[in-house]
Amino acid sequence: MRCMTPASTGPVSTGPVPIGPDLLACISRRAQTMTASAIREILKITQQPDVISFAGGLPAPELFPLDAVRQAAETALSKYGPAALQYSTTEGHLPLREWIAGRHGIPAANVQIVTGSQQGLDLLGKILIDEGDLVLVEAPTYLGALQSFQPYLPRYAEMPTDEGGIDVDALATLLAGLAAQGEKPKLLYAIPNFQNPTGRTLSLERRRRLVELTAQYGVLVIEDDPYGQLRFSGEALPSLYEIGLELAGDVDRNHVIYSSSFSKTLVPGLRDAWVEAAAPVITKLIQAKQGADLHTPTLNQMMITELLPLLPAQIETVKAAYRERGAHMLSQMDEFFPAGVTYTRPQGGMFLWVTLPEGVDTVALLPRAVENKVAYVPGQPFFALGGGANTMRMSYSSATPEQITQGMRALGATFREALG
Which of the residues 171 through 200 are near its own copies (CB under 8 A)?
184, 186-187
Q: ω into residue 192 within 30 of 0, thus cis?
A: no
Q: Which residues of 148-161 are buried (b: 16+ CB within 10 A; e: fewer)?
A: bbbbbebebbbbeb
- Choice from 226, 228, 268, 326 touching its own copies (CB under 8 A): 268
- Choice from 79, 203, 234, 253 touching its own copies (CB under 8 A): 253
Q: Which residues, 6 or more positions from 103, have their beta carbon under 8 angstroms from its beta carbon?
A: none
- Choice from 52, 166, 202, 219 touching its own copies (CB under 8 A): 219
Nearer to its own copies (CB atom), residue 21 or residue 234 = 21
Residues 388-417 that bind its own copies (CB under 8 A): none
What does the alpha-carbon distance between residue 60 and residue 64 come to, in Å, rounded to a whole number?
7
20 DSSP β-pair partners: 5
Residues 5-24 that bind its own copies (CB under 8 A): 5-9, 12, 15-17, 19-20, 22-24
Nearer to its own copies (CB atom), residue 130 or residue 358 = 130
Nearer to its own copies (CB atom), residue 377 or residue 411 = 377
Indicate whether 288 belongs to the interface with its own copies (CB under 8 A): yes
What does the alpha-carbon distance between residue 112 and residue 93 come to, in Å, rounded to a whole number?
9
What does the alpha-carbon distance between residue 47 and residue 43 come to, in Å, rounded to a whole number?
6
DSSP 115-161: SSHHHHHHHHHHHHPPTT-EEEEESS--HHHHHHHGGG--EEEEEPE
**Shortest Å distance, C-beta 399 to its own copies:** 15
Indicate whether 99 belongs to the interface with its own copies (CB under 8 A): no
**Shortest Å distance, C-beta 351 to its own copies:** 15
Q: Exposed, middle or buried: residue 15 (CB in 10 Å: 0-12, 13-18, 19+)? A: exposed
**Shortest Å distance, C-beta 44 to its own copies:** 12
Backbone angles phi, psi at 5, to 5 degrees: -80, 135
Q: Which residues, 6 or more positions from 397, have their beta carbon under 8 angstroms from its beta carbon?
A: 57, 58, 59, 60, 322, 325, 350, 351
- Choice from 53, 110, 119, 395 touching its own copies (CB under 8 A): 119
Indicate whether 150 belongs to the interface with its own copies (CB under 8 A): yes
Residues 34-73 that bind its own copies (CB under 8 A): 34-37, 40, 58-59, 61-62, 64, 66, 69-70, 73
Indicate whether 222 belongs to the interface with its own copies (CB under 8 A): no
Sign of CA dihedral 342, 328, 396, 157: negative
Nearer to its own copies (CB atom), residue 248 or residue 327 = 248
- Choice from 38, 77, 315, 363 touching its own copies (CB under 8 A): 77
Residues 297-326 that bind its own copies (CB under 8 A): 297-300
Q: Are residues 263 and 125 in contact, defined by beta-carbon separation less than 8 angstroms?
A: no
**Shortest Å distance, C-beta 21 to its own copies:** 10
- In the 8-state DSSP scheme, what is residue 232? -
- Choice from 42, 127, 174, 360 touching its own copies (CB under 8 A): 127
Stretch binding its own copies (CB under 8 A), from 146-154, 331-339, 354-362, 366-374: 146-154
Nearer to its own copies (CB atom), residue 74 or residue 335 = 74
